[in-house]
Amino acid sequence: MDLKAYFKRVNMTDSGPPSLSALRELHRHHVLSVPAENLDIHSGGKIILEMPWIYEKIVVRKRGGICYESNGLFLWVLEELGYHPKVLSARVRNKISCEYGPQFDHLVTMVELEGRRWLCDVGFGEGIIDPIPLEDGWEEEQDNGVFRLRVETKTWYLERKDGNLWRSLFSFTLDEYTFEDFKEMCEYHQTSPSSIFTCKSLCSLQLLRGRLTYMGHRLITTEFTPGGGCVKSTRDLTDDEIPDLLRDRFGIVLKGKLIPKDEDIIPPMSC
């Protein structure tokens, strides 16, 4: 790991010793610099859960990645900087079915600092920009929305405020896992018709007070307003426009030809 190259990738010059302020800066810079994207799946590539491969993709080739890649790289950075992060497994809530995905659906990390535990997640398209303290009922307005945490028994829920309502993004427990535990689900998300990553070509980048998202043949611009509101605008794209858009707005140049996709997700069969 060349930390100097990583810092350059996320528009930083350095990071001091482990502290809450340093963690906040690192987390924020990563989220605002590295897109959440699955474009390898739709351009003849494959996602490989090996740290050197992820480093080469995101840092050297200036790509983004799905949660396992982006949070995986962030996990490695935290380890190199002496934070001793823990790997947690989250289950993403489906907006349509309102059901939660399987174990290892989403990877997040936890860091203990200054007598508190902090949830870190740099790989969720509409997630937090700053680490959030693991405290039941904690509510916080960040630049990209209002979030809160709640716990039922041993299950935690990260929720986002949409207007006057709270919407759960994902659930998780504090059981600790390893990075390798997510390999099977990474394969699932590249092949299953029940995965959003298989059904839709996506690239989303958090902005200060906004988000820019490419999906299929659309560019979606989101502006966040105080209190949990947002204003969205959508522009249709042609096949010829997409490569230039990815390069100019997201800094991404693909090796293979992208096949734009935006199909309905097939719900998994009930047991």
C-alpha angle with apex 65: 59 to 71, nearest 5 degrees?
A: 80
In order of their start, the domains of the chain are 3-178+195-250 (3.30.2140.20)
- C-alpha dihedral, 107 to 254 to 60 to 87, nearest 10°: 0
What is the average pLDDT score of the chain?
93
Q: Which residues are known catalytic residues?
A: 67, 106, 121
Question: What's the mean pLDDT in 139-143?
Answer: 93
pLDDT bin (cut points 50, 70, 90) of residue 270 is very low
Supply 113's token pair. 């600092």
pLDDT bin (cut points 50, 70, 90) of residue 267 is confident
Whether the pLDDT of residue 271 is over 50: the answer is: no
Q: How far apart are CA 55 and CA 222, in angstroms?
A: 29
Q: What's the predicted TM-score (pTM) here?
A: 0.94
Q: What is the pLDDT of residues 102-137, one digit of tens each?
A: 999 999 999 999 899 999 999 998 899 999 999 999
